[in-house]
Structure 1
Amino acid sequence: MNSTTGAAEQAAASGLLGRLNETLPHPLTPEWEAAFKGVPRHRFLPENVWLGADLTPCDRRKSPDEWLRAAYDDEPVVTQINDGADPGDGDRWPSCSASAPGIVFRMLHMLDVQSGDRVLEIGTGTGWNAGLLSHRLGAELVTTVEVDPALADQAAANLKDVGLEPHVILGDGATLELSHRLDRFLATCSVRSVSPGWVASMKPGGVMLLPWETPWLCYGLLRLTAGSDGSASGNFHPHSAFMLMRGQRTDLRIFRDVVRDEHVPEESTTRLSPWAVTGDDWAAQFAIGLQLRDVWFTWHEDPDVEGVASRLWVATTDATSWAAIDHDGQTNDRFTVWEYGPRRLWSEVEAAYHWWTSHARPRPEHFGMTITSDGRHTPWLETPNTTIPQTG
């Protein structure tokens, strides 16, 4: 470990390293194990962090043992809330985190960097990931981009503190223009679309790894290989959920942005349970999200509507079409549907779900995506020759 790392930190880090080597699909290679030891995770966490789903504050000065446990748990640690603004008595929401070490090293394994590779990272965050890459490749080959000025400054300071100085750029990674071609591209924020500029920056055969999100579901890693024709193509892989790239965020609420008193929806019924498309079956949700890339949902429990126990709202991201599916709390094979706008969204959801079931309920890793030089995204099943239907 780093010579300035104390005994407690060394013991905690050694414990995490052992757990990672036991639980990861591929134990850390000697190069990544050296990076883990040479770039201590706790050196990249701020004094104040937020833990768990309820974002409980944890101050290192007041709770040093709890803070250190969080630093070396295989769990994400929220390092910024509300884009750095003081929420006061308002809602807290995470805006930056140190990703769980397990997903960090799984992604680095998937990136398959080789000595001499030039790498670009979008989403510097705390700087730990850029530090690991810099230790493995040499800081001169690593460029990392962060849109938040405070985070960029702190990450650069964290990196310098452990003797690493990759190129830390303050800016919007979506529009960044580079003077050199890349061997590897890594995003540490989820994306809903891949910038054509990212693909154009890759050398043929270069690898891109991006956490994926649709408005329907945040899930999966998209690993692309750049072709000689300016396109990139590859498969999805399971198990990841990252904060969405800031420039691709949507802040929509049903009653504030979508539904209006003057809207007169059309009524119908359905036998498709709303829980079938929003429940625990992530494969169904993933397939629906790929087909309906501009549609999102939210639940409204116990709405103030006679005879309705729960209501699923579905809407487009441009807020022009919506649907509501009502459950009366008793009948589980028939649901009332209300649809408004130029699109019949529940009909689209039903079609997407039935397409998925008719193709033997494929899992996320059975899907892939091709991005062409003009930015067109074409999802496919099993091979690029089998494209899947899309709306929106």
Structure 2
Amino acid sequence: MTATDLAASEQIAMRDLLGAVNNDLDTPLGPEWERAAWAVPRHRFLPERIYLGDDLEPCTRAEAPETWLRAAYANDSVVTQINDGQDPGDGERWASSAASAPGIVFRMLHMLDLADGHRVLEIGTGTGWNAGLLAHRLGPENVTTVEVDPVLAAEADARLRKLSLEPTVSAGDGALGHTSTQPFDRVEATCSVRSVPQAWVRQTRPGGVILTPWETPWLCYGLLRLKVGVHGDASGRFSPHSAFMLMRNQRTDLRIYRDVVRDDHQPEESRTTLSPWTVTGDDLAAQFAIGLQLRDVWRTWHDDPDVDGVASRLWVATTDAASWAAVDWDGHSDDRFTVWQYGPRRLWNEVEAAHDWWTHAGRPAPDRFGLTTLPDRGEWVWLDKPDQPLPTTG
């Protein structure tokens, strides 16, 4: 492919991408962001090696330029780092950094409701593309971005400089925010959190906005937009959309047979009519509500376990590995399942209660939920308004 052909392909790919993004958004992409997209092309921020598919197969620009370019301009996320930058060899590969899907990138930029002169703190520099879009819109002097991985921070800084965009790029723990002496008008995270760091609230001016992807151990889903008050408080609502990688200092690395279940555990047996697929399937609103109530509970599926009479098993466990439950499907019955529970908590009972609460509350969607955080009371999740907190367990 000649340089002329490549340039033409990039132009076509950009137009197609902007069309796909506009189809994703509730309102058309603002002209300021369309100008930024052309001035800060996404492909200039992807590394030479990316990882594609469920198996995270490497794809290099030199060896497969057309495949690489398609990935660069697809309205989808692109994995840009695996295993925190360490060579996995023949071991398991897992994504540790990615370029977010352009549709969600521009949705979040729209949700920030930016104005000229706003100072923005970005948490999670990644490739640097989002920081570049912000710097084009607001001016580099108004953008600060923090990346926990020093290698990624240095690479992003170099890419931004090549386009004469030079926001402040810092390597450090994003949960601590930044050491700037002036408060920010906006804080935007490009990694999900399970709890809002108080440093972000302290470093945002009253009336300012914090926007972050959200995750519970049950489900990675949703955006949280908070408005900061005058007393160190912040409150706001969730919205659907997004699935981002979790902030590194909030990760939990747990596996059922390695960390939770032991040979000497003697679980209690019972039955349930609540299908495990009802609380783990396509109904993201149900999963979201369960995750908000069971903030320390995670789950994983085990298909075709080596157990007589069990076709599939759902495992549920606490993040401290103290309690667990298993729900077995025999491959035939769709209205009765065997339950095994161990530990001080009866986790499947809690799941049933959480789902029952959500059902009786009218099956609320994510945008009916919100979160408030106060410096002296911590944070709590609510339905419709802050004085209606959710029932919680644990």
TM over 0.5: yes
Question: Are 1:200 and 2:188 matched, yes or no?
Answer: no
**Equivalent residues in 2 for 1:17-96, closer than 5 Å:** 17-96=18-97
Give the structure-2-normalised TM-score: 0.96
CA distance in 2, matches of 1:372, 1:53: 40
The Cα shift of 1:108 comes to 0.2
How has the CA–CA distance of structure 1 residues 375 and 217 changed in structure 2, closer, same or farther, with 3 Å as cutoff? farther
* Alpha-carbon distance, 1:177 to partner: 4.5
Q: Report the Cα offset of residue 21 of structure 1.
A: 2.9
Q: Distance in 2 between matches of 1:182 and 1:49?
A: 33
**Structure 2 letter corresponding to 1:297:** R
Are the equivalent residues in 1 in contact too, given 2:146–2:178 (CA < 8 A)?
no
- Partners of 1:279 and 1:15 lie apart in 2 by 32
Aligned to 1:335: 337
Question: In the alignment, what sits opposite 2:284?
Answer: 282
Deviations 1:216-260 (A, max 9, x none): 000000011111121111111111000111111111000000001
Residue 316, structure 1, aligned to residue 340, structure 2: no
The 5 Å alignment of 1:341-356 reads 341-356=343-358
2:239 corresponds in structure 1 to 237
Look up the equivalent residue of 1:52 and give its one-letter code.
G
Q: Structure 1 332/21 Cα, relative in aligned 2: closer, same or farther at 3 Å?
A: closer
Contact 2:233 2:373 in 1 (8 A): yes
Contact in 1 for aligned 2:123/2:177 (Cα 8 Å): no
Q: Distance in 1 between matches of 2:57 and 2:28?
A: 32
For residue 56 of structure 1, report the CA deviation from its aligned partner.
2.6
Corresponding residue number in structure 2 for 1:136:
137
CA distance in 2, matches of 1:105, 1:75: 12
Give the whole-Å Cα distance in 2 for the aligned partners of 1:22 and 1:89. 40
Aligned to 1:216: 218
Contact kept in structure 2, 1:194 and 1:375, CA below 8 Å = no
The alignment of Structure 1 onto Structure 2 pairs a total of residues equal to 388
Unpaired runs of at least 5, structure 1: none
Displacement of 1:176? 3.3
Which residue type is aligned with residue 267 of structure 1?
A: E
Please give the secondary structure, in 1, of the residue aligned with 2:279.
helix
The SS at the match of 1:298 is strand
Kept in 1: contact 2:177–2:203 (CA 8 A): no
Q: Aligned pair in 2 of structure 1 residues 321, 304: CA closer, same or farther (>3 Å)?
A: same
Q: Find the aligned partners of 1:49 and 1:33 in 2 and give their Cα distance.
A: 25
Q: How does 1:4-15 map to 2 (within 5 A)?
A: 6-15=7-16
Checking the alignment, whether the CA contact within 8 Å between 1:269 and 1:337 is kept in structure 2 is yes
| Structure 1 residue runs of 4 or more that deviate by more than 3 Å after TM superposition | none
Q: Contact 2:328 / 2:337 at 8 angstroms: preserved in 1?
A: yes
Compute the displacement of 1:375 (Å): 6.5
- Secondary structure of the 2:305 match is coil
Alignment of 1:372 with 2:374, yes or no, is yes
Moved more, 282-291 or 364-373: 364-373
1:272, distance to aligned residue in structure 2 (A): 1.1
Q: 1:374 to 1:277 in 2, by over 3 A?
A: same
Give 1:52 shift. 2.6
Cα pair 1:235 1:368 within 8 Å, conserved: yes
Secondary structure of the corresponding residue to residue 235 of structure 1: strand
* 1:283 Cα deviation after fit: 0.8
The alignment-based identity, stated in percent, is 68
Residue 391 of structure 1 corresponds to which residue in structure 2? 393
Q: Where does residue 183 of structure 1 map in the other structure? A: 185
The secondary structure found in structure 1 opposite 2:298 is strand
- Partner Cα distance (1:346, 1:147) in 2: 36
C-alpha displacement at 1:301, in angstroms? 1.4
**Alignment map for 1:78-117 (pairs within 5 Å):** 78-117=79-118
User: TM (normalized to structure 1)?
Assistant: 0.96
Distance 1:388 1:97, change over 3 A: same
Q: Deviation at 1:53?
A: 2.7
**Which residue of 254, 257, 273 corresponds with 1:255?**
257
Q: Deviations over 1:260-284 (max 9, x none)?
A: 1111111211111111111111111
Aligned equivalent of 2:273: 271
Gaps (5+ residues) in structure 2?
1-5
For residues 105 and 174 of structure 1, what CA distance do their matches in structure 2 show?
Answer: 23
- 8 Å CA contact retained: 1:199, 1:373: no
